[in-house]
Amino acid sequence: MNPLEQWLHAQAEHGRRIYLVLDADGQLEERNALIAVLDSDQYRNLYVGTLAASLADMAPYLIQLESTEHPALQTLLHTPGRNWGWLGSAETGDLETLTRHWQDRLISGERPNQALYRIHDNRVLGRALAFLLPEQRPDFLGPLSSVCYWHADQWQSANNPAPGMYPLPPDPAWSKTPIPEATFTGQQFENTRRYLVREHSERLIKLVEQYDLDTWLRQQLELARTWQWREPEQIHFLLTQSLQASSYALPKAWLPKPAETPSMHFDRLYQEALYWQGDAPL
C-alpha cells in the first residue's frame, strides 16, 4: 500500500470518520459531484458566516465523506499535484465543531491588515506541520485526530497527540511558519488584491479605466519590496496613498533620502500624510 492507502486503512481500523477539506477554486466539478449525493448537514462552506463571506462562491468546503470510492474523490486522490486540499479524520461526526474550529483560524491579523489564512491549501498545511512542535499541533488541528496531505511531491500524514476543541491562541505558532519567497509573493498579491476589491472597490473601478489592476498592484508591491517596507501597515499605507495619488502613482518626493532607513522613510512619509490631512503637525 502507498502512504495514502496506509493512512486510510489506519483510520478505518480506529473507526474514525474521514473529512475532505476541498479548495473549490479549480475543483467545482468535483465539489458539486460530491455534495450532490450528500445531505446538507454533511458539508459546510467555510467562508459563510465569516469575514470572508463575500468570497463564498469560491470558498473551500469541509465535507464529511461517506465513502472514499466516489468517482469525484478518486479523481482528486489520483491527481494530488492539483493541490486541491487535504484529508482529515476525527473520532466523531461533529461537523459543526470542526467547522467552527477552522473558521476561527481563517482570518489572521487585525483590520485593516487582515489576511486569509489558506487553511484549505495542502502546501500551507504541510509547511505548518513541518514547522510546529508536536505539542503545538493540538491548537492547530483541533478535533482532528490525523491528517493526510500531498506535500513535497509525496503523500504525508501527521497525527494530533491531543484532539479537542481549543481556543485560538493570541499569537498562533503556525502564523510564524517560514514561507518560501515565491510563495510569499504570490500569497501577498492574492490577499492584497482581495482586500482592495472588498474595501476600496470604488477607487479600483476608476483605476481600471486607465490601468490593468494586476499589473498596477504588482508594481506597487515591488515598490514596497524595493523600499524594504514589509510590515502590513506599511503596505496598506503605500497602497491607499497610491490609490489617491495623481495617475495612481506616488510622486518623486516619496523616494527615500540618502542614509534614510526604511523605518525612517516610512515615518517621514506617514507624518507628512497626516499633516496634509490635518491630523498631525509636520
Q: 133 and 189: one domain?
A: no
% of residues, the chain, pLDDT over 70: 95
The bridge status of strand 61-64 relative to strand 43-45 is antiparallel
Q: 41 and 131: one domain?
A: yes
DSSP state of 278: T
Q: 84 and 138: one domain?
A: yes
DSSP state of 2: -
Name the pTM for this structure. Answer: 0.68
Q: Could you say which of 178, 211, 240 is where a domain stops?
A: 178
Is it the case that residue 15 has pLDDT exceeding 90? yes
Q: Which residues contact 160 (CB under 8 A, 6 or more apart)?
A: 137, 138, 141, 142, 144, 145, 146, 147
Q: 171 and 217: one domain?
A: no
Q: 34 and 159: one domain?
A: yes
Mean of the pLDDT values across residues 248-268? 91
pLDDT digits (tens, 9 = 90+) for 56-73: 888 999 999 989 999 999
Is it the case that residue 280 has pLDDT exceeding 50? no
Domain containing 242 equals 182-251
pLDDT digits (tens, 9 = 90+) for 96-127: 999 999 999 998 766 666 778 899 999 999 99
Q: 194 and 94: one domain?
A: no
In a domain? residue 269: no
Q: 81 and 142: one domain?
A: yes
In a domain? residue 270: no
Q: 17 and 143: one domain?
A: yes
User: Could you give the number of structural domains in the chain?
Assistant: 2
Q: 60 and 140: one domain?
A: yes
Q: How confident is the model at residue 282 (pLDDT cuts 50, 70, 90)?
A: very low
